[in-house]
């Protein structure tokens, strides 16, 4: 990624002047600097973790608390993302800005950008500490985005113009530079304040967990016997941990994924086949995201599962019903897409059958491929714990599967038959459910010793 | 490596397992519970191989470590869940709580804490009690006395003896505490580097012999 950034940095000038046919690359670029920072914010939000927990091993040592905080905040600077701005803009500064506008302008401009990028770095830490995993955090971001889109739409102002006014006026660059320094110091001070107030390890972890007991209990599930009990258990798991809640959030957001294609008439006309992809993804979004770690989630009590009066077959069956029910639910939620045409609903229904009949077994079986333990007490977004080879390639068969059946018929000129084949495959999978579940259970039974010993290692 | 040949544990016997760290006590228990596949040999409970068979799970209660608990449930939810697996009604669960009231010492039920927030000692209490759910015939416990406070250790010992008297249970218990384990068990097996090197039965002066062995 770093190399790409650097390559992009070197290519930036000629890309703008030649690729976009803009003579003044400096002015052009300045119009998009705000977008760059918005992008950086999002990237950092997902990749960066708050360095609070790193404090724990040092807390009992004879070190002043403020020193410790400065150490932690300083250490957080050593992050690849913090040289992104340098790599991206430094080549451009020296190749384009220096030669045209002179050394001082170039250095002030670059300096401001780097400082602002680091300001974003600390701002994200503060943001994550205060607002992460709360409704407010999400709402404030959504609100901001809506506001800017509205501003653009109703012609109040264009973000590109604002961006140019801030970064593009050469005579105001010294002021910008001083402001950047000020902002950087300010956000750093806010951070150290926030950290100083919250250095007690108990508070970071416990406020999430206590006082919530017994809140959710889906008693209606009890009428489904032991399958209901195990699904109820799994729902509690999902609702009581940050990482799984994040998956739930993400899944509900990704239900809107279809809008990317369906709202564009030209896309739909040129590539109507994309509907299959969108349909598999929209109806299977939870199945894919949650199912890829199907066994890792409950790694902490795998030994429990194996020693209780429950056969492996029953265990697999409870997993199956959980995934299938949610997939059906996703389909129901995707019904409003019918607004963009009946065809979409039909395709969604067909691929939902495929998801329930075929993909669910693909996911369950691939999730058995040397799963790793997931420590649920750790945080949510972009936590790579539990990711193994299987998770990287799992998407391929799931998303391509329907096309293998569909495309041959489409190329022969019978797209509808292709669609029927996809649905038929799903129906066959549903009809042969007892047999396929037994096969899956047999596989887990033979792998269980290996999986259990893997889960026991921290 | 574990190398145990022909170990028979009779019905109603209290079987104690001692040995230093790494002797293979937990591994032996895991093999008995079909959690680790033995490279050779079989484990039979009531004449049936534990491998590829789920029947024994109905009458073998076990607690080895935290992997036998569900960290994100409260103890109440956990007991209800395990109870349901054994076909308990809500009344049965209440009766079960009553049996363990003294042992729990008011620290487990109805506190609204998740299991992952409990102290090590209370975790142990939850796990041990859950092993008794579903009226098992065999109970396997790994280091049940570890982390318990002195009062709880004494109560646990009384509890185990009483339960055995009432329900004619078979115990498999490992421990580092020679006093407790000799008080409880009529038969003590010493493991060293995976092999049985002593098999001591009642009427001998077991405690003295064990102490002599571990001193050497």
Residues of B in contact with A241 (CB under 8 A): 72
Query: Do residues B178 and B207 lie in contact, with contact meaning Cβ atoms separated by under 8 Å?
Result: yes
Q: What is the pLDDT of residues B122-144, one digit of tens each?
A: 999 999 999 999 889 999 999 99
A324 plus A413 within the same structural domain: yes
- A310·B81 Cβ contact <8 A: no
Residues of A in contact with B57 (CB under 8 A): 307-310
CA distance B53 to B58: 11
**Which of B58, B65, B70 minimises the CB distance to A309?**
B58
pLDDT for the residue A441: 94
**What is the DSSP track for A393-414?**
HTHHHHHHHHHHHHHHHHHTT-
A248 plus A392 within the same structural domain: yes
Candidates A202, A249, A185; CA nearest to A55 is: A202
A231 plus A160 within the same structural domain: no
Length of chain B: 216
**Is any Cβ of chain B less than 8 angstroms from the Cβ of A206?**
yes
Cβ contacts of A453 within 8 Å, gap of 6 or more: B36
The tokens for A402 are 């329907």
**Is any Cβ of chain A less than 8 angstroms from the Cβ of B157?**
no
pLDDT for the residue A209: 47
The tokens for A50 are 């708050």
A100 plus A232 within the same structural domain: no
Task: For chain A, report the end-to-end CA distance as a whole number of angstroms.
Answer: 30
- A213·B112 Cβ contact <8 A: yes
Indicate the residue among A195, A211, A227 that finishes a domain. A211
pLDDT for the residue A206: 45
Query: Do residues A90 and A9 lie in contact, with contact meaning Cβ atoms separated by under 8 Å?
Result: yes
What Cα–Cα distance (Å) separates residue A31 from each residue in A18, A164, B14, B199?
A: 17, 4, 80, 83
pLDDT for the residue A400: 86
Which of A295-304, A381-390, B90-99, B112-121 comes out lowest in average pLDDT? A381-390
Query: Do residues B28 and B17 lie in contact, with contact meaning Cβ atoms separated by under 8 Å?
Result: yes
Candidates B117, B121, B108, B173; CA nearest to B147 is: B121
A102 plus A234 within the same structural domain: no
Structural domain containing residue A410 = 218-457
**Is any Cβ of chain B less than 8 angstroms from the Cβ of A219?**
no
CA distance A366 to A453: 18
**Is any Cβ of chain B less than 8 angstroms from the Cβ of A310?**
yes
Candidates A312, A119, A322, A140; CA nearest to A236 is: A322
**Which of A213, A229, A310 minimises the CB distance to B113?**
A213
pLDDT for the residue A208: 47
A178 plus A233 within the same structural domain: no
Please give the angle made by the CA atoms of B205, B206 and B212, to the nearest 5 degrees.
100
The tokens for A40 are 């950086």
Query: Do residues A372 and A296 lie in contact, with contact meaning Cβ atoms separated by under 8 Å?
Result: yes
A77 plus A27 within the same structural domain: yes
ipTM of the complex: 0.91
CA distance A403 to A443: 27
A204 plus A325 within the same structural domain: no
Indicate the residue among A183, A211, A239 that finishes a domain. A211
Reduced 3-state DSSP string for A137-174: HHHHHHHHHHHHHHHHHCCCCCHHHHHHHHHCCHHHHH
A274 plus A409 within the same structural domain: yes
pLDDT for the residue B70: 92
pLDDT for the residue B128: 93
pLDDT for the residue A201: 57
Indicate the residue among A196, A211, A226 that finishes a domain. A211
Number of domains in chain A: 2
A189 plus A233 within the same structural domain: no
The tokens for B10 are 């009779």
Residues of B in contact with A204 (CB under 8 A): none
Shortest CA gap A129–chain B (Å): 22
pLDDT for the residue A332: 92
**Is any Cβ of chain A less than 8 angstroms from the Cβ of B45?**
no
The tokens for B91 are 């009344």
DSSP classification of residue A93: I
Average pLDDT of chain B? 89
Burial letters B120-149, b for 16+ CB under 10 A, else e: eebbbbbbbbbbbbbebbbbbbbbbbeebe
- A300·B71 Cβ contact <8 A: yes
- A300·B67 Cβ contact <8 A: yes
- A229·B81 Cβ contact <8 A: yes
- A306·B34 Cβ contact <8 A: yes
CA dihedral for A172, A174, A178, A183, sign (positive or negative): positive
A312 plus A184 within the same structural domain: no
A273 plus A357 within the same structural domain: yes
**Is any Cβ of chain B less than 8 angstroms from the Cβ of A215?**
no
**Is any Cβ of chain B less than 8 angstroms from the Cβ of A300?**
yes
Q: Note down pLDDT in tens along chain A; length 458 residues.
A: 667 777 878 777 777 777 777 777 888 888 888 888 888 888 787 777 666 556 677 777 787 878 888 888 888 888 777 888 888 888 888 877 787 778 788 888 888 889 999 998 888 888 877 666 566 777 777 788 788 878 877 777 777 788 888 887 777 888 888 899 999 999 999 888 887 776 665 555 544 444 454 456 677 777 777 888 889 899 989 888 888 888 888 888 888 888 777 877 777 777 778 888 888 888 988 898 888 889 989 988 999 999 998 889 999 999 999 999 999 999 999 988 888 888 889 999 999 999 999 999 999 998 898 888 888 776 555 556 666 666 767 888 888 888 888 888 888 888 888 899 999 999 999 999 999 999 999 999 999 999 998 888 86
Mutate to test the interface with B, among A235, A302, A304 (most CBs of B within 10 A): A304
What Cα–Cα distance (Å) separates residue A282 from each residue in A36, A214, A269, A329, A338?
A: 29, 32, 20, 11, 14
User: Nearest residue of B to residue A223 by CA position?
Assistant: B84
Cβ contacts of A119 within 8 Å, gap of 6 or more: A180, A183, A184, A187
**Is any Cβ of chain B less than 8 angstroms from the Cβ of A297?**
no
CA distance A110 to A116: 10
In this prediction the pTM is 0.73
Q: What is the pLDDT of residues B10-51, one digit of tens each?
A: 888 899 999 988 888 999 999 999 998 888 889 999 888 988
Shortest CA gap B35–chain A (Å): 6
CA distance A414 to A425: 17
3-state secondary structure of A271: coil
**Which of B58, B72, B84 minimises the CB distance to A376?**
B72
């Amino acid at each position: 990624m770093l190399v790409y950034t650097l390559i992009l940095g070197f290519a930036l000038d000629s890309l703008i002047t030649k690729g976009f046919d803009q003579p003044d690359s400096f002015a052009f670029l300045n119009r998009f600097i705000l977008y760059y920072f918005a992008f950086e914010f999002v990237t950092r939000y997902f990749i960066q973790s708050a360095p609070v927990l790193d404090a724990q091993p040092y807390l009992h040592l004879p070190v002043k608390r403020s020193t410790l905080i400065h150490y932690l905040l300083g250490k957080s600077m050593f992050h690849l993302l913090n040289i992104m701005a340098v790599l991206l803009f430094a080549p451009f500064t020296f190749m384009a800005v220096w030669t045209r506008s002179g050394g001082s302008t170039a250095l002030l401009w670059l300096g401001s950008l780097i400082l602002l990028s680091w300001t974003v770095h600390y701002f994200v830490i503060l943001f994550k500490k205060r607002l992460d995993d709360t409704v407010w955090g999400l709402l404030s971001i959504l609100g901001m985005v809506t506001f800017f889109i509205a501003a653009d739409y109703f012609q109040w102002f264009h973000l590109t113009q604002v961006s140019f006014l801030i970064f593009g006026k050469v005579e105001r660059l010294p002021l910008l530079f001083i402001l950047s320094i000020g902002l950087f110091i300010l956000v750093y001070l806010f951070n150290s304040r926030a950290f100083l107030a919250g250095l007690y390890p108990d508070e970071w972890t416990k406020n999430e967990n206590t006082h919530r007991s017994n809140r959710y209990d889906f008693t209606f599930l009890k009428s489904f016997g032991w399958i209901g009990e195990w699904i109820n258990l799994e729902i509690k798991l999902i609702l009581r941990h940050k990482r799984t809640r994040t998956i739930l959030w993400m899944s509900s957001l990704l239900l809107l994924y279809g809008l990317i294609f369906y709202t564009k008439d030209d896309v739909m006309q040129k590539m109507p086949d994309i509907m299959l992809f969108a349909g598999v993804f929209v109806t299977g979004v939870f199945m894919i995201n949650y199912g890829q770690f199907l066994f890792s989630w409950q790694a902490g009590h795998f030994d429990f599962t194996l020693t209780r009066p429950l056969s492996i077959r029953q265990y697999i069956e409870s997993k199956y019903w959980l995934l299938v029910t949610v997939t059906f639910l996703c389909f129901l939620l995707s019904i409003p897409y019918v607004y963009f045409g009946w065809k979409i609903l039909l395709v969604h229904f067909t691929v939902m059958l495929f998801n329930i009949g075929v993909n669910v077994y693909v996911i369950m079986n691939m999730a058995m491929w040397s799963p790793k333990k997931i420590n649920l007490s750790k945080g949510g977004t972009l936590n790579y714990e539990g990711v193994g080879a299987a998770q990287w390639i799992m998407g391929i068969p799931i998303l391509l599967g329907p096309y293998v059946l569909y495309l041959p018929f489409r190329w022969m000129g019978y797209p509808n038959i292709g669609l029927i084949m996809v649905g038929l495959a799903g129906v066959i999978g549903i009809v042969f459910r007892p047999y396929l579940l037994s096969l899956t259970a047999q596989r887990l039974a033979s792998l269980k010793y290996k999986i259990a010993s893997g889960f026991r290692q921290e | 490596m574990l190398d145990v040949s022909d170990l028979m544990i009779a019905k109603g016997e209290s079987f104690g397992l001692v040995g230093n760290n790494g002797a293979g006590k937990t591994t032996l228990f895991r093999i008995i519970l079909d959690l680790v596949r033995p490279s050779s040999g079989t484990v039979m409970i009531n004449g049936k191989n534990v491998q590829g068979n789920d029947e024994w799970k109905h009458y073998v209660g076990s607690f080895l470590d935290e992997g036998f608990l569900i960290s994100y449930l409260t103890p109440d939810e956990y007991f209800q869940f395990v109870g349901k697996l054994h076909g308990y009604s809500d009344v049965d669960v209440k009766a079960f709580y009553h049996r363990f009231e003294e042992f729990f010492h008011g620290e487990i039920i109805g506190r609204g804490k998740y299991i992952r927030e409990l102290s090590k000692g209370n975790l142990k209490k939850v796990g041990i009690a859950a092993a008794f759910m579903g009226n098992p015939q065999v109970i396997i416990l790994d280091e049940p006395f570890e982390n318990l406070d002195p009062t709880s250790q004494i109560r646990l010992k009384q509890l185990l003896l009483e339960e055995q008297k009432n329900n004619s249970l078979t115990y498999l218990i490992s421990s580092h505490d020679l006093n407790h384990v000799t008080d409880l068990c009529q038969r003590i097996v010493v493991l060293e580097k995976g092999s049985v090197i002593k098999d001591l039965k009642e009427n001998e002066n077991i405690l003295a012999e064990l102490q002599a062995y571990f001193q050497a």
